[in-house]
Amino acid sequence: MTSQIIEHSAMPSYVLARNLRGFIASSLFTMFVFMVLTAYLLPFLYMSLTAIKTADQISTGDILPLSPVTFTYEGKELPLYKVPDTDGTMQERALLTGRRNDSVFIDPLHPETPINWEGRWRNLEPVKRIDVHLENFKAASDGINFPRLLTNTIMIAVSGMIGTLISCSLVAYGFSRFPIPGKSILFLILVSTIILPPIVTLIPTYIVFSKIGWTGTWLPLIVPHFFANAYNVFLLRQFFMTIPKDLDEAAMIDGANPFQIFLQIIIPQSLPALVVVSLGHIVFAWNDFFNPFIYLLGEEDKWPISIGIQQYNYIFGTQPNMVQAISLLGLTLPVILFFLAQRVFLQGVVITGVEK
């Protein structure tokens, strides 16, 4: 094949050989990375396949959700086996009477003539077909009361998202545009709060929340987000600093006050960064286990999805298919959101400019 190409091309053969070598090297390397990726994501496949099996299908040890195929003969369900025929080919036949050393089979295409076969039928391979049990998801959803968990999670996530958007964009605007005395020290303090383990501040915060009656409600999961957090302030500040100041200045000359400039100039130009913050918060709130665990443990009606999955999976622990179906329900929304907006998720880093 290569020689043909060489004949028809004006390229010298050594260039082509180099290209071909490059192509093969590149294909092999890509294949290798693909294998690494497959190993990395294999538990996903395991989860998905386990979630659509019955307990019987799991116990057989088959990779795929397979079930034995039967053939109805004179009102009886007969199991199908792969039986070697006289000409050496394998035929799918239904077992009518199985004895130790010889058995009677039925050819499903010609059920009128039973076939006698000599050999041990127990050594034959049963015929299996893919048999998917999507009803597991219905059972899992009913079992954990998925609609309620979903509503709770969305309420908590969206309220917190509104708080984060408002507070972080205001604070980031303050840090990016105004001559506050000691601004660089304040900003350093803000960034260094990232490395504070949250469990250090947990106890007094919990005591205060419990004194004012907020434990067992969503408030401890929502209200703190109205007071800005270091990650998002940092991200938004980096973004605001890239917006040219000419527009603010022009608006200021026209008599706009800084808050009007924020609403009418900064915000409309920052939509990509605000989307990053919003999606980031939704995923954070959806995945957050620690805070609802501390504040909502006894309150089953108020659980978000993370607590629901953990609590119900302990109950369903003996049913691997249910555990995996529940785990899959728990990750579907964030993963779909991620694939729909993967550009946004991967862009967050570009905005913060961590690489610089």
Partner 1 sequence: MISQDVSQVEYVEKKPIGRIKGYSLEQRLQLWGWAFISPWIIGFLLFILFPMLASFVISFTDFNLMHPDDVKFVGLKNYIALGSDPMLITATIATLKFALLALPVAIMLPIFLAGLLNASLLKGKRLFLTLFYMPYIVPVVSVVFIWQAYLNQEAGWFNRLLGLIGIQGPNWINSVDFIYPAMVMIGLWGLGNALLITFAAMRGVPTELFEAARVDGASALTIFFKIIIPMISPVIFYNLILSVIGVFRYFEIPYILGRGQGQPGNATYFYSIHLYKNAFTYQEMGYGSTLAWVLFVISLLVTVALFLTSRYWVYNSTGDNQI
Q: How far is CA 87 from the centre of its chain?
A: 51
Our CB check for partner 1 shows the closer of 66 and 283 to be 283
Within 277-296, the residues that bind partner 1 by CB under 8 A are 283, 286-287, 289-290, 294
Residue type (1 letter), 225? H
Burial of residue 50, with CB atoms counted within 10 A of its CB: 0-12 exposed, 13-18 middle, 19 or more buried:
buried
Closest Cα to residue 51, out of 336, 257, 332?
A: 332
Q: How far is the CB of 331 from partner 1 (least distance, A)?
A: 4
Q: What are the residue ranges of helices labelled H in 61-145?
A: 135-144
What stretches of 235-343 adopt beta strand conformation (E)?
Answer: none
Question: Which span (31-39, 83-91, 120-128, 139-147) binds partner 1, by CB under 8 A?
Answer: 31-39
Question: Which span (86-94, 123-131, 139-147, 193-201) binds partner 1, by CB under 8 A?
Answer: 193-201
Contact 168, 229 (CB under 8 A): yes
Question: Which span (3-11, 120-128, 140-148, 198-206) binds partner 1, by CB under 8 A?
Answer: 198-206
Our CB check for partner 1 shows the closer of 79 and 258 to be 258
Separation of alpha carbons 46 and 59, rounded Å: 14
20 binds partner 1 (CB under 8 A): no
Q: With residue 328 as reference, give the H or E element that holds it.
A: helix 320-340
Of 7, 8, 14, 36, which lies in the binding site for partner 1, with binding defined by CB under 8 A?
36
Within 75-114, the residues that bind partner 1 by CB under 8 A are none
Closest Cα to residue 164, out of 66, 280, 270?
A: 280
Question: Which span (2-10, 74-82, 124-132, 189-197) binds partner 1, by CB under 8 A?
Answer: 189-197
Enter the tokens of residue 335: 């993963």
Question: How many residues at the interface with partner 1, by CB under 8 A?
Answer: 101
Separation of alpha carbons 136 and 133, rounded Å: 6
Total Cβ atoms within 10 A of residue 286: 20
Q: What is the dihedral of CA 236, 240, 242, 248, to 10 degrees?
A: 170
Our CB check for partner 1 shows the closer of 58 and 69 to be 58
236 binds partner 1 (CB under 8 A): no
Residue type (1 letter), 202? L
134 binds partner 1 (CB under 8 A): no
Our CB check for partner 1 shows the closer of 71 and 284 to be 284
Separation of alpha carbons 55 and 315, rounded Å: 16
339 binds partner 1 (CB under 8 A): yes
Per-residue binding letters, 149-178, with partner 1 (x by CB under 8 A): -----------------xx--xx-xxx-xx
19 binds partner 1 (CB under 8 A): no
Question: Which span (22-30, 98-106, 125-133, 134-142) binds partner 1, by CB under 8 A?
Answer: 22-30
Our CB check for partner 1 shows the closer of 11 and 42 to be 42
13 binds partner 1 (CB under 8 A): no
Question: Which span (7-15, 68-76, 129-137, 199-207) binds partner 1, by CB under 8 A?
Answer: 199-207
Of 9, 12, 29, 260, which lies in the binding site for partner 1, with binding defined by CB under 8 A?
29
DSSP code, position 127: P
334 binds partner 1 (CB under 8 A): yes
Secondary structure (3-state) at 293: helix
Total Cβ atoms within 10 A of residue 139: 16
Q: How far is CA 323 from the centre of its chain?
A: 16
Q: How far is the CB of 324 from partner 1 (least distance, A)?
A: 6
